[in-house]
Amino acid sequence: MAYNPFFEEDLHHAGPPRIAFSPLELLHLLGALVALTIAFTFILDPRETGFDLGAIADVVVHPDGLVWFTSFVGMATGFVLHEVAHKILAQRYGHWAEFRAAFSFLGITLFAATFLKILLAAPGAVLIQGRVTPKENGLISLAGPSVNLAVAVLSVGAYLVGYFTSPQWGVDPRDLAPFMLLGVAQVNSLLSMFNLVPFGPLDGRKVLRWNRAVYALAMAASIGLFVAVLFYMPPV
């Protein structure tokens, strides 16, 4: 979120911009990351849990390390880097900016992932206070999806290098790299595209309001990459 209208106090910093994280903000980031990692593990895990408490306990107590690690890396890059990108650019412009988790929505996310195998991710937002101009608002909002897009491109590149240079790429199901890189590319390309939807509090609405050409370019790149990752990547 690039601007919070519920705060009327002007907290625009005097002096040079600074990058800082408060202990409360780090706690909120960590809590949201843990919740999203658990939720995404249930999405990736091949076992059908449904309302079977025994199956749910099996995923929690005897998790597949590959699934857990992929979930963690996917959420760390897709969620944490996305929010930190918003925050850092806002602070570079001299504004107060901190992430706050929406713990009630994270509870819904965990329930939906555990019982329905659906990822309803609404972890929270970066709250920003200060004299935010329309251009700053657009660029701050664009920073998150841009980071997701960059991570997805790097993951796709690393995956393709491994696929075309290693004869054993993806042969061993315990091999971490192919599964993780493909998962990270899928998560980040999806988040980039989703967050650019011009609706409600999503980033796309603010980017579109600032510059239609930039928005169109960013959305086209996100859709193109998501389709390529989903349908045209060589299989593991």
How far are the Cα atoms of 148, 185, 209 from residue 154, in angstroms, in the given order? 10, 8, 29
User: Quick one: which of 187, 191, 185 has its CA closest to 233?
Assistant: 185
Q: Looking at 8, 48, 83, 98, which residue is catalytic? A: 83
Average predicted confidence (pLDDT) for the chain:
83
Our answer to whether residue 83 is catalytic in this structure is yes
How does pLDDT run across 151-194, given as a tens digit for each residue? Answer: 999 999 999 999 999 888 877 766 788 888 988 998 899 899 99
Do residues 90 and 143 lie in contact, with contact meaning Cβ atoms separated by under 8 Å? no
Which amino acid, 94?
A: G
User: What is the three-class DSSP state of 100?
Assistant: strand
Q: Is the pLDDT of residue 121 over 70?
A: yes
Q: Is the pLDDT of residue 53 over 50?
A: no
Average pLDDT rounded to a whole number, residues 69-92: 93
- Tell me the pLDDT band of 48, cut-offs 50, 70 and 90: low
* Amino acid 233: pLDDT: 86
- The maximal CA–CA distance of the chain, rounded, in angstroms, is 60
Measure CA 188 to chain center. 6
* Amino acid 173: pLDDT: 66
Strands (E), the chain: 96-101, 124-129
Its pTM stands at 0.82
CA atoms of 93 and 33, how far apart (whole Å): 26
